[in-house]
């Protein structure tokens, strides 16, 4: 009898002593609870869903306005039901995911607890099978803040560890045994530490740096075209004209930066499928969607306010630029050839804005020149994308574009032809118009421009053929030393054309007007 009792005792499971001590009596680890939005995923599923619905049908905005009064949980459920999101491409926090897998291997239960709708959470679960359980909003109850804390206390009275990222997680951290702060702001991290519990932090990269990158301030170089009519129109010596041009420059810069953010928001899914654009701040999650939307609104508001200070004509020009940018982001970017012409038109609009700001005469030659020049650079951008697709062996259409890898040769031909056409048009401008501007002190200096243009365009297309060109030619030009040297020479030539050479630099006995003016004037 005693022997049988002993055998039954040996076969019984070993009890777990939560008090610790002998390794045979190791404490059962409490569950590790992970938030989804901004924590495991470096994005917000609700905003992702809203953007996806509006991108597919802008009229959905009116339906959303009807859903909102019925509560946040109901709103999330309707967004989850209608939005087609590819959860597999959404940016995840790789460091946190690795931490979760280590804890899972150690025997800890892994729970996903999110204020996102349950339908969204279940999609995430298919991507991250590491989770043992999902707790989420259900269309009636919004599982956030105190509500989430109460739910987790009821489910895990023995305690739990919790990983979150925002101030809304503070009540949950207060109920948790251990606090895990993931890429939160300094204020949130400080508040979490003030709870007096063990804290583990996953630091975030600089969001201000990500915002500056998302605003693409280097693209403001394009807006220097606003000053071109000021110089060529003979008003370079007028302080008031410079002030008006500067207001137009700043207004256009703010609106353009806002439009870049809008384009990135509308193009999130395509950017995430692109070999280089997936590293953009919004696509990668380095810049939160809410911060991007806030910067977008501020940029548009500030830009239009500055435009109003510059006058009604500048406001009209900025609004025209914004309208064409919206049309490009929503539709035109997916129409082959028309997309590059649209980009060329946006460049020409900058010159139109400069004409409106300083009130000089229109120059059809100059506008046509800019159209061909910047259409060529736009073709270079597309050619680089197509070369990259060919190099990676891609056979199908380019995501978010209307091009296929087989179009590379046609794009190359149109791009080079447009660049050479811009040089010819600039020569015609010099011969037919430039020397009729009596206000230009030294118009002959402008004859250096055709040579500068040939050298610059030749370098762009030579490097494009070698796969050595960044997919954004402007970003390439502001970092490329030969291009910067050519830009410096061009700037000097413009200065000489506008103000002339100082008398002390001229040979003795030479008449400045004779040296610097053409007989055709």
| Per-domain residue ranges of the chain | 26-204, 213-362, 364-521
What integer pLDDT is reported at residue 507 of this predicted model? 52
The residue assigned the tokens 């501020």 is 298
The Cα diameter of the chain in Å comes to 130
If we measure between CA atoms, which residue out of 116, 34, 112 comes closest to residue 72?
Answer: 116
What integer pLDDT is reported at residue 158 of this predicted model? 94
What is the SS3 assignment for 475?
helix
What integer pLDDT is reported at residue 28 of this predicted model? 65
Q: Which fold is adopted by the domain 213-362? A: Tetracycline Repressor; domain 2 (1.10.357)
Counting beta carbons within 10 angstroms of the beta carbon of residue 23, is it exposed (0 to 12), middle (13 to 18) or buried (19 or more)? exposed
Q: Record the tokens describing residue 155, joined without a space.
A: 């489910």
285 contacts 207 by C-beta, under 8 angstroms: no
80 contacts 3 by C-beta, under 8 angstroms: no
335 contacts 401 by C-beta, under 8 angstroms: no
Between 60-67 and 72-82, two packed helices, what is the crossing angle to 10 degrees?
A: 150
Q: What is the CATH number of domain 26-204?
A: 3.40.50.1000
Give the other-Cβ count within 10 Å of 394's Cβ: 15
What is the SS3 assignment for 139?
coil
Burial pattern 189-211, b for ≥16 Cβ within 10 A else e, equals bebbeeeeeeeeebebeebeebb
What integer pLDDT is reported at residue 385 of this predicted model? 85
Distance, CA of 346 to CA of 312 (rounded, Å): 19
What integer pLDDT is reported at residue 93 of this predicted model? 96
Proportion of the chain in helix, strand, coil states, percent, rounded to 5? 65, 5, 30
What integer pLDDT is reported at residue 119 of this predicted model? 95
Q: What are phi and psi of 13, to 5 degrees?
A: -60, 145
What integer pLDDT is reported at residue 231 of this predicted model? 80
Non-local (6+) Cβ contacts of 88 within 8 A are: 127
Distance, CA of 109 to CA of 316 (rounded, Å): 60
The residue assigned the tokens 């190099």 is 391
pLDDT digits (tens, 9 = 90+) for 478-488: 888 999 999 99
pLDDT digits (tens, 9 = 90+) for 168-199: 999 999 999 999 999 999 999 999 999 999 99
Report the DSSP beta bridge partners of residue 162.
Answer: 33, 179
What predicted TM-score, i.e. pTM, was given to this entire model?
Answer: 0.80
Fill in the DSSP letter of residue 181.
E
45 contacts 85 by C-beta, under 8 angstroms: yes
Q: Spell out, as residue ranges, where the chain has pLDDT lower than 50.
A: 1-26, 504-506, 510-521
If we measure between CA atoms, which residue out of 481, 477, 448 comes closest to residue 464?
Answer: 477
Q: Where are the alpha helices (DSSP H) in 106-227?
A: 118-127, 146-155, 170-175, 186-193, 207-215
What is the SS3 assignment for 78?
helix
What integer pLDDT is reported at residue 437 of this predicted model? 58
What integer pLDDT is reported at residue 290 of this predicted model? 94
141 contacts 147 by C-beta, under 8 angstroms: yes
Distance, CA of 227 to CA of 416 (rounded, Å): 27
User: What does the DSSP assignment read for 481-497?
Assistant: HHHHHHHHHHHHHHHHH
What integer pLDDT is reported at residue 14 of this predicted model? 32
What integer pLDDT is reported at residue 174 of this predicted model? 97
Q: Record the tokens describing residue 330, joined without a space.
A: 């929503």
Q: Record the tokens describing residue 359, joined without a space.
A: 């009130």
Non-local (6+) Cβ contacts of 224 within 8 A are: 249
Distance, CA of 407 to CA of 270 (rounded, Å): 19
Distance, CA of 130 to CA of 517 (rounded, Å): 77
Burial pattern 466-495, b for ≥16 Cβ within 10 A else e, equals eeebbbbbbbbbeebeebeebbeebeebbb
Q: What's the distance, CA 414 to chain centroid? A: 28
What is the SS3 assignment for 267?
coil
If we measure between CA atoms, which residue out of 115, 124, 36, 39 comes closest to residue 71?
Answer: 115
45 contacts 36 by C-beta, under 8 angstroms: yes
């Amino acid at each position: 009898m005693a022997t049988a009792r002993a055998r039954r005792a040996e076969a019984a499971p070993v009890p777990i002593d939560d008090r610790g001590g002998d390794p045979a009596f190791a404490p059962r680890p409490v569950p590790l609870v992970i938030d989804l939005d901004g924590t495991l995923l470096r994005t917000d599923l609700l905003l992702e869903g809203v953007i996806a619905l509006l991108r597919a049908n802008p009229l959905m905005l009116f339906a959303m306005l009807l859903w909102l009064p019925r509560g946040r949980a109901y709103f999330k459920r309707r967004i989850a039901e209608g939005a087609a999101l590819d959860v597999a491409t959404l940016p995840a926090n790789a460091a946190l995911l690795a931490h979760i897998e280590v804890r899972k291997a150690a025997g800890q239960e892994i729970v996903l607890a999110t204020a996102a709708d349950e339908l969204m959470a279940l999609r995430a679960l298919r991507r991250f099978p590491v989770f043992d359980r999902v707790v989420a909003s259900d269309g009636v109850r919004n599982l956030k803040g105190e509500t989430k804390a109460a739910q987790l206390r009821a489910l895990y009275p023995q305690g739990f560890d919790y990983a979150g990222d925002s101030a809304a997680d503070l009540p949950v951290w207060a109920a948790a045994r251990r606090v895990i702060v993931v890429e939160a702001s300094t204020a949130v991290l400080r508040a979490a530490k003030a709870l007096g519990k063990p804290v583990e932090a996953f630091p975030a990269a600089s969001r201000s740096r990500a915002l500056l990158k998302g605003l693409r301030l280097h693209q403001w170089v394009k807006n220097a075209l606003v000053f071109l009519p000021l110089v060529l129109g003979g008003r370079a010596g007028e302080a008031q004209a410079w002030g008006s041009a500067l207001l137009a420059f700043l207004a256009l810069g703010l609106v353009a930066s806002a439009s870049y953010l809008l384009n990135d928001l509308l193009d999130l899914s395509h950017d995430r499928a692109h070999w280089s654009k997936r590293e953009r701040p919004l696509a990668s999650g380095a810049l939160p969607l809410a911060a991007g939307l806030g910067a977008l609104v501020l940029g548009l508001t500030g830009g239009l306010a500055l435009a109003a200070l510059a006058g009604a004509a500048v406001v009209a020009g900025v609004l025209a630029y914004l309208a064409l940018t919206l049309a490009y982001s929503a539709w035109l970017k997916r129409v082959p050839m028309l997309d590059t012409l649209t980009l060329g038109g946006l460049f020409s609009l900058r010159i139109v804005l400069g004409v409106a700001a300083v009130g000089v005469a229109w120059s059809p030659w100059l506008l046509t020149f800019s159209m061909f020049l910047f259409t060529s650079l736009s073709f270079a951008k597309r050619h680089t994308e197509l070369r990259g697709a060919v190099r990676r062996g891609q056979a199908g259409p380019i995501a978010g574009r209307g091009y296929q890898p087989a179009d590379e040769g046609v794009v190359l031909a149109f791009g080079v032809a447009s660049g050479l056409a811009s040089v010819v048009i600039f020569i015609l401008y010099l011969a037919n118009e430039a020397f009729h501007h009596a206000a230009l002190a030294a118009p002959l200096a402008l004859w250096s421009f055709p040579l500068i243009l040939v050298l610059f365009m030749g370098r762009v297309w030579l490097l494009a053929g070698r796969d050595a060109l960044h997919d954004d030619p402007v970003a390439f030009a502001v970092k490329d030393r030969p291009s910067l040297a050519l830009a410096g020479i061009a700037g000097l030539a413009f200065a000489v054309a506008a103000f002339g050479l100082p008398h002390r630099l001229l040979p003795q006995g030479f008449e400045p007007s004779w040296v610097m003016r053409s007989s055709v004037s």
